[in-house]
Chains A and B, each alone.
Chain A
Amino acid sequence: MNLHFASRDIGARTLEIVDEMKALEGPLLPILHAVQAEFGYVPPEAMPVIARALNLSRAEVHGVVTFYHDYRDHPAGRHVLKLCRAEACQSMGGMALEETVKKLLGIDFHQTTLDGTVTLEPVYCLGLCSTAPAAMLDGEVHGRLDAAAVAELVAEARA
Chain B
Amino acid sequence: MSMVPEIDFGTPASRAEKMVTLTIDGNEISVPEGTSIMRASMEAGIQVPKLCATDMVDAFGSCRLCLIEIEGRNGTPASCTTPVAPGIVVHTQTSRLKDIRKGVMELYISDHPLDCLTCAANGDCELQDMAGAVGLRDVRYGYEGDNHVKVRGTDGMNAKWMPKDESNPYFTYDPSKCIVCSRCVRACEEVQGTFALTIEGRGFGSRVSAGMHESFLESECVSCGACVQACPTATLTEKSVIAIGQPEHSVVTTCAYCGVGCSFKAEMRGEELVRMVPWKDGQANRGHSCVKGRFAYGYSTHKERILNPMIREKITDPWREVSWEEAFAHTASEFRRIQYQYGRESIGGITSSRCTNEETYLVQKLIRAGFGNNNVDTCARVCHSPTGYGLGATFGTSAGTQNFDSVEHTDVVIIIGANPTDGHPVFASRLKKRLRQGAKLIVIDPRRTDMVSSPHIKAAHHLPLKPGTNVAVMTALAHVIVTEGLADEQFIRERCDWSEFEDWAGFVSLPEHSPEAIEAFSGVSAEELRGAARLFATGGNGAIYYGLGVTEHSQGSTTVIAIANLAMVTGNIGRPGVGVNPLRGQNNVQGACDMGSFPHELPGYRHVSDDATRETFEKLWGVTISNEPGLRIPNMLDAAVDGSFKGIYIQGEDILQSDPDTKHVQAGLAAMECVVVQDLFLNETANYAHVFLPGSTFLEKDGTFTNAERRINRVRRVMTPRNGFADWEVTQKLAQTMGLNWAYSHPSEVMDEIAATTPSFAKVSYEYLEKMGSVQWPCNEKAPLGSPIMHIDGFVRGKGKFIRTEYVATDEKTGPRFPLLLTTGRILSQYNVGAQTRRTENVVWHEEDRLEIHPHDAEVRGVRDGDWVRLSSRSGDTTLRALITDRVATGVVYTTFHHPTTQANVITTDFSDWATNCPEYKVTAVQISPSNGPSQWQIDYDEQARHSRRIAGKMEAAE
| Chain A residues in the interface with B (C-beta under 8 A) | 44, 47-48, 51, 55-63, 66-67
Chain A facing B: main interface SS? helix
Q: A66-B201, A67-B201 are in contact. Are A59 and B458 (CB under 8 A)?
A: no
CB of B453 within 8 A of CB of A58, answer: no
Q: A44-B212, A67-B201 are in contact. Are A59 and B196 (CB under 8 A)?
A: yes
Q: A56-B195, A67-B201 are in contact. Are A62 and B212 (CB under 8 A)?
A: yes
Once bound together, how far apart are the Cα atoms of A55 and B456, in whole Å? 5
Q: Which 4 pairs of residues, A with B, have the shortest CB-CB distance?
A: A63-B198, A57-B195, A62-B212, A59-B198
* Contact for B220 among A55, A57, A63, CB less than 8 A: A57
CB of A59 within 8 A of CB of B457, answer: no
CB of A62 within 8 A of CB of B202, answer: no
Once bound together, how far apart are the Cα atoms of A55 and B214, in whole Å? 19
* Contact for A60 among B213, B453, B455, B457, CB less than 8 A: B455
* Contact for A63 among B199, B219, B454, CB less than 8 A: B199
Any A CB within 8 A of the CB of B834: no
Given contacts A58-B220, A59-B210, 15 further A-B contacts (CB under 8 A): A47-B212, A48-B212, A55-B455, A56-B195, A56-B455, A57-B195, A57-B211, A57-B220, A58-B212, A59-B211, A60-B198, A62-B209, A62-B213, A63-B198, A63-B200
**A32 CB to nearest chain B CB (Å):** 14
The interface residues of chain B lying within 8 Å CB-to-CB of A66 are 200-202, 209
Q: A44-B212, A63-B200 are in contact. Are A55 and B219 (CB under 8 A)?
A: no
Once bound together, how far apart are the Cα atoms of A56 and B436, in whole Å? 12
Contact pattern, B 190-221, Cβ under 8 Å of A = 1, otherwise 0: 00001111111110000001111110000110
CB of A59 within 8 A of CB of B456, answer: no
Once bound together, how far apart are the Cα atoms of A66 and B194, in whole Å? 20
Contact pattern, B 218-240, Cβ under 8 Å of A = 1, otherwise 0: 01100000000000000000000
Once bound together, how far apart are the Cα atoms of A143 and B457, in whole Å? 48
CB of B195 within 8 A of CB of A62, answer: no
CB of B197 within 8 A of CB of A59, answer: yes
Q: A66-B201, A67-B201 are in contact. Are A59 and B453 (CB under 8 A)?
A: no
Q: A60-B195, A62-B213 are in contact. Are A55 and B458 (CB under 8 A)?
A: yes
CB of B201 within 8 A of CB of A57, answer: no
A-B contact pairs, 11 of them (CB 8 A): A55-B454, A56-B455, A57-B211, A58-B219, A59-B197, A59-B198, A61-B212, A62-B209, A66-B200, A67-B200, A67-B201
**A111 CB to nearest chain B CB (Å):** 15
Name the residue among B194, B196, B455 with the largest chain A CB count within 10 angstroms: B455
The interface residues of chain B lying within 8 Å CB-to-CB of A56 are 195, 455-456
CB of A59 within 8 A of CB of B209, answer: yes
CB of A59 within 8 A of CB of B220, answer: yes
CB of A59 within 8 A of CB of B454, answer: no
**B500 CB to nearest chain A CB (Å):** 43
Once bound together, how far apart are the Cα atoms of A44 and B453, in whole Å? 22
The interface residues of chain A lying within 8 Å CB-to-CB of B200 are 62-63, 66-67
Once bound together, how far apart are the Cα atoms of A55 and B200, in whole Å? 19
* Contact for A62 among B198, B455, B456, B458, CB less than 8 A: B198
The interface residues of chain B lying within 8 Å CB-to-CB of A57 are 194-196, 198, 211, 220, 455
The interface residues of chain B lying within 8 Å CB-to-CB of A59 are 195-198, 209-212, 219-220
The interface residues of chain B lying within 8 Å CB-to-CB of A48 are 212
CB of A63 within 8 A of CB of B209, answer: yes
The interface residues of chain A lying within 8 Å CB-to-CB of B453 are 55
Q: Name the CB-closest residue of B to A54.
A: B455
Task: Kindly state the interface size class of chain B when it binds its partner.
Answer: 20 to 34
Name the residue among A58, A59, A66 with the largest chain B CB count within 10 angstroms: A59
Once bound together, how far apart are the Cα atoms of A111 and B651, in whole Å? 69
The interface residues of chain B lying within 8 Å CB-to-CB of A47 are 212
Name B158-211 residues within 8 Å CB distance of A.
Answer: 194-202, 209-211
Once bound together, how far apart are the Cα atoms of A48 and B195, in whole Å? 13
Once bound together, how far apart are the Cα atoms of A135 and B290, in whole Å? 53
The interface residues of chain A lying within 8 Å CB-to-CB of B219 are 58-59
Once bound together, how far apart are the Cα atoms of A58 and B209, in whole Å? 11
The interface residues of chain A lying within 8 Å CB-to-CB of B198 are 57, 59-60, 62-63
The interface residues of chain A lying within 8 Å CB-to-CB of B194 are 57
**B210 CB to nearest chain A CB (Å):** 7
Name B422-465 residues within 8 Å CB distance of A.
Answer: 453-458
**A9 CB to nearest chain B CB (Å):** 20
Once bound together, how far apart are the Cα atoms of A48 and B202, in whole Å? 21
The interface residues of chain B lying within 8 Å CB-to-CB of A63 are 198-200, 209
The interface residues of chain B lying within 8 Å CB-to-CB of A60 are 195, 198, 455
**B203 CB to nearest chain A CB (Å):** 10
Once bound together, how far apart are the Cα atoms of A48 and B455, in whole Å? 11
**A55 CB to nearest chain B CB (Å):** 6
CB of A62 within 8 A of CB of B211, answer: yes
Q: A56-B195, A62-B213 are in contact. Are A51 and B202 (CB under 8 A)?
A: no
Once bound together, how far apart are the Cα atoms of A51 and B220, in whole Å? 12
The interface residues of chain A lying within 8 Å CB-to-CB of B197 are 59
CB of A55 within 8 A of CB of B212, answer: no
**B597 CB to nearest chain A CB (Å):** 42
Once bound together, how far apart are the Cα atoms of A67 and B212, in whole Å? 13
Q: Name the CB-closest residue of A to B453.
A: A55
Once bound together, how far apart are the Cα atoms of A44 and B209, in whole Å? 15
Once bound together, how far apart are the Cα atoms of A117 and B201, in whole Å? 27
The interface residues of chain B lying within 8 Å CB-to-CB of A58 are 211-212, 214, 219-220
The interface residues of chain A lying within 8 Å CB-to-CB of B212 are 44, 47-48, 58-59, 61-62
The interface residues of chain A lying within 8 Å CB-to-CB of B209 are 59, 62-63, 66
* Contact for A51 among B214, B455, B457, B458, CB less than 8 A: B455
The interface residues of chain A lying within 8 Å CB-to-CB of B457 are 55
Once bound together, how far apart are the Cα atoms of A66 and B211, in whole Å? 12
Once bound together, how far apart are the Cα atoms of A56 and B198, in whole Å? 12
Once bound together, how far apart are the Cα atoms of A44 and B196, in whole Å? 16
Once bound together, how far apart are the Cα atoms of A5 and B211, in whole Å? 24
CB of A67 within 8 A of CB of B202, answer: yes
Once bound together, how far apart are the Cα atoms of A3 and B47, in whole Å? 57
Once bound together, how far apart are the Cα atoms of A67 and B195, in whole Å? 17
Q: Name the CB-closest residue of B to A56.
A: B455
**A146 CB to nearest chain B CB (Å):** 31
Q: Name the CB-closest residue of A to B213.
A: A62
Once bound together, how far apart are the Cα atoms of A25 and B456, in whole Å? 15
The interface residues of chain A lying within 8 Å CB-to-CB of B201 are 66-67
**B439 CB to nearest chain A CB (Å):** 16
Name the residue among B195, B196, B219, B457 with the largest chain A CB count within 10 angstroms: B195
Once bound together, how far apart are the Cα atoms of A61 and B212, in whole Å? 8
**B354 CB to nearest chain A CB (Å):** 34
Once bound together, how far apart are the Cα atoms of A63 and B456, in whole Å? 16
Q: Name the CB-closest residue of A to B455.
A: A57
The interface residues of chain B lying within 8 Å CB-to-CB of A51 are 455
Once bound together, how far apart are the Cα atoms of A45 and B220, in whole Å? 16
Once bound together, how far apart are the Cα atoms of A62 and B198, in whole Å? 8
Once bound together, how far apart are the Cα atoms of A44 and B200, in whole Å? 14
Once bound together, how far apart are the Cα atoms of A8 and B158, in whole Å? 36
Once bound together, how far apart are the Cα atoms of A51 and B456, in whole Å? 10
Once bound together, how far apart are the Cα atoms of A48 and B220, in whole Å? 11
**A153 CB to nearest chain B CB (Å):** 28
Once bound together, how far apart are the Cα atoms of A47 and B200, in whole Å? 14
Once bound together, how far apart are the Cα atoms of A152 and B673, in whole Å? 98
The interface residues of chain A lying within 8 Å CB-to-CB of B213 are 62
The interface residues of chain A lying within 8 Å CB-to-CB of B196 are 57, 59
Once bound together, how far apart are the Cα atoms of A25 and B894, in whole Å? 38
Once bound together, how far apart are the Cα atoms of A61 and B456, in whole Å? 13
The interface residues of chain A lying within 8 Å CB-to-CB of B195 are 56-57, 59-60
Q: Name the CB-closest residue of B to A64.
A: B198
Once bound together, how far apart are the Cα atoms of A57 and B195, in whole Å? 6
The interface residues of chain A lying within 8 Å CB-to-CB of B454 are 55
Once bound together, how far apart are the Cα atoms of A82 and B455, in whole Å? 36
The interface residues of chain B lying within 8 Å CB-to-CB of A67 are 200-202
Name B448-487 residues within 8 Å CB distance of A.
Answer: 453-458
**B345 CB to nearest chain A CB (Å):** 58
Name the residue among A44, A47, A51, A60 with the largest chain B CB count within 10 angstroms: A60
